Structure 1
């Protein structure tokens, strides 16, 4: 029932008539439709007529191979990604992606993107990331027997850098404006496979969002229905678009009769997708202000996020650091410790204060241990403790 991949080819999100072979993955955007100002990402097209609908009758579980017909070829071995719990939380459900192997949603992307590196015969993997993406890429590269280079920002949390180095990756802290030129040089001169962005507006890896589609499949099975709304923390919007595409495929295949509204939850310090949607642009670049939510702190948006929000009838929501901190505390008190960025979905739902006709899902993306400053605190020693010292 699962069987081989039914992926056929790549197609531009800027013009669906612009199509390309499935390999090699076009990691610098569509060569036909992109301009100097806007880079259009590629999407993956499948032979949907051959998909067995019984695929959606199996219980969700770890290993994305569970969904292999609707993914590009999975040539990299699994670490047990996917199958994360859906936790009831007051008036919403939390899709807790911190339960993945490297404690973030990025494992779904990297199982697929590192598989492309293996299938392409690349000698290694390179990524520009200061957190979850770098750790995940390093882990999946190690599992596949490939070296990895991770270009981190100068202010990347030391704990996260140690996490990445533990997988054997070469980690270099590089000023932000120099990371992407260096990444392109590594790709061009060393032949390493890039699993992060190389373009003026975000395109990323064309296969990456395919891994995130599996969240939609799991939500449908876990809820027993399609949610009315999904709120996702949004940086470059690969997660947002992937979840939207997954639900769109369920609708296309006749498995469901509707799709949810998608809500992009960005930091108020930036918000390139909110700007693009408000201005009717395919993508936008903004000036980024200060924020501790580094996982969603991006000045560069991409067309995928615009498509997901626009086509689903959703909205872009801007949230402050304080709103995310409140959501983080709220989740932690219920046993769900999330990175500040990972709470943007719940913070966005709280900010919107809207009722929906059906279940609402907030995706929580990453473990709280990856936050800035975690592990650096020192607490006083109780030299002569009493019971009063221990009371809540």
Structure 2
């Protein structure tokens, strides 16, 4: 049942009639429909008529090759990504993506994106990231035998910088405004395969969200039904859209009878997708205020997030740092330590305070050790401890 990829071609999300071959991946958005103000991403089209429905009868497990017919070709070797647990958590379920190999959801994207680098014959991979994405890209590049360049911001957490370097990546800390021109130069002059955005509004890697579709497949099998709502931490919305696309495929294939409502949960310091949806725009750019949730702190939105929320009948929810901290403490007290950004889904659900007719899933994206300041604390040493000192 698993078999080869059934991916056929790329298609513009700005005009579905604008189609392109599957390779090379168009990493700078659609060349036909994008403008100087709005860049439209590419989507991947499959030969759905050839998909064996028994693909969705097997239990989910690690290794995205489990879903190979509905993914672009997986040339990069696995690190055991996917198959993450769905944890009952009071009135919701938490999909704990911190259980992936580099402790974040980004491993699903990078298994697919690094596969594209190999299939394209690129001499290496380049990524602009100060956190999960950079670490994951470095790990999958190392596993595939490719060099990686990571352009990190100067204020990224020291623990995460050490994490990046552990995989042998060339990590360079540069001012934020210089990362994107440098990324383009590395792509143009060295031929490295980019797994970061290069456009005015977000398009990113056209194959990236395909890796995230597998979360939808797993949720269906783990719950035994389609959730009523999915709350997703949202930065560039690749995760949000990927999960939505996975559920739309299940419906298209006749495996399920409905799809969930998708909720984008963005930091209130920015919220480009909330702005685009409110204004009826395909994408938007906003001014970003201060926030510690650096993993979802972006001023640039993209069309994918707008499509997922709009077409699912969902909503954009803005959450504050304090609301995410409360969600972080709530999760940690139940044994789930998440990065501040990774709690935005639960924080969004708590803010909305709404009942749904069916299961609710909050996606938690990454381990708490990646937060700002983690590892720099110093704790007192008890020279002569007593039992009173040890009682919680």
Deviations 1:2-39 (A, max 9, x none): 10000000000000000000000000000000000000
**Match of residue 291 from structure 1:** 291
Measured after TM superposition, the shift of residue 120 of structure 1 is 0.3
Measured after TM superposition, the shift of residue 352 of structure 1 is 0.2
SS of residue in 2 equivalent to 1:69: helix
CA distance in 2, matches of 1:190, 1:170: 14
CA distance in 2, matches of 1:245, 1:335: 30
SS of residue in 1 equivalent to 2:69: helix
Measured after TM superposition, the shift of residue 387 of structure 1 is 1.1
Measured after TM superposition, the shift of residue 358 of structure 1 is 0.1
Measured after TM superposition, the shift of residue 388 of structure 1 is 1.1
Deviations 1:114-133 (A, max 9, x none): 00000000000000000000
Deviations 1:185-244 (A, max 9, x none): 000000000011000000000000000000000000000000000000000000000000
SS of residue in 2 equivalent to 1:221: helix
CA distance in 2, matches of 1:270, 1:210: 26
Deviations 1:254-295 (A, max 9, x none): 000000000000000000000000000000000000000000
Measured after TM superposition, the shift of residue 385 of structure 1 is 1.1
Measured after TM superposition, the shift of residue 154 of structure 1 is 1.0
TM-score by length of 1: 1.00
Measured after TM superposition, the shift of residue 366 of structure 1 is 0.1
Q: State whether structure 2 residue 305 is matched by structure 1 residue 305.
A: yes
Q: How many residues were matched structurally?
A: 392
Deviations 1:135-159 (A, max 9, x none): 0000000000000000011111010
Unmatched runs of 5 consecutive residues or more in structure 2 = none
CA distance in 1, matches of 2:191, 2:164: 21
CA distance in 2, matches of 1:285, 1:128: 19
CA distance in 2, matches of 1:388, 1:371: 32
CA distance in 1, matches of 2:198, 2:189: 15
CA distance in 2, matches of 1:251, 1:365: 25
Deviations 1:173-193 (A, max 9, x none): 111111011000000000000
Measured after TM superposition, the shift of residue 386 of structure 1 is 1.2
Measured after TM superposition, the shift of residue 345 of structure 1 is 0.1
Deviations 1:308-349 (A, max 9, x none): 000000000000000000000000000000000000000000
Measured after TM superposition, the shift of residue 106 of structure 1 is 0.1
SS of residue in 1 equivalent to 2:362: strand
**Match of residue 189 from structure 1:** 189
Measured after TM superposition, the shift of residue 389 of structure 1 is 1.1
CA distance in 2, matches of 1:331, 1:79: 26
Deviations 1:88-129 (A, max 9, x none): 000000000000000000000000000000000000000000
Measured after TM superposition, the shift of residue 391 of structure 1 is 1.2
Measured after TM superposition, the shift of residue 384 of structure 1 is 1.8
CA distance in 2, matches of 1:166, 1:326: 32
**Match of residue 159 from structure 1:** 159
SS of residue in 1 equivalent to 2:88: strand
**Match of residue 264 from structure 1:** 264
CA distance in 2, matches of 1:289, 1:195: 26
Q: State whether structure 2 residue 196 is matched by structure 1 residue 200.
A: no
Measured after TM superposition, the shift of residue 383 of structure 1 is 1.6
Q: State whether structure 2 residue 54 is matched by structure 1 residue 60.
A: no
SS of residue in 2 equivalent to 1:44: strand
Unmatched runs of 5 consecutive residues or more in structure 1 = none
CA distance in 2, matches of 1:149, 1:106: 17
Q: State whether structure 2 residue 209 is matched by structure 1 residue 209.
A: yes
CA distance in 2, matches of 1:385, 1:361: 43
**Match of residue 235 from structure 1:** 235
CA distance in 2, matches of 1:101, 1:330: 24
Deviations 1:69-93 (A, max 9, x none): 0000000000000000000000000
**Match of residue 18 from structure 1:** 18
Query: Which structure 1 residue ranges, 4+ long, deviate > 4 Å from structure 2?
Result: none
SS of residue in 2 equivalent to 1:8: strand
CA distance in 2, matches of 1:220, 1:123: 38
CA distance in 1, matches of 2:211, 2:328: 26
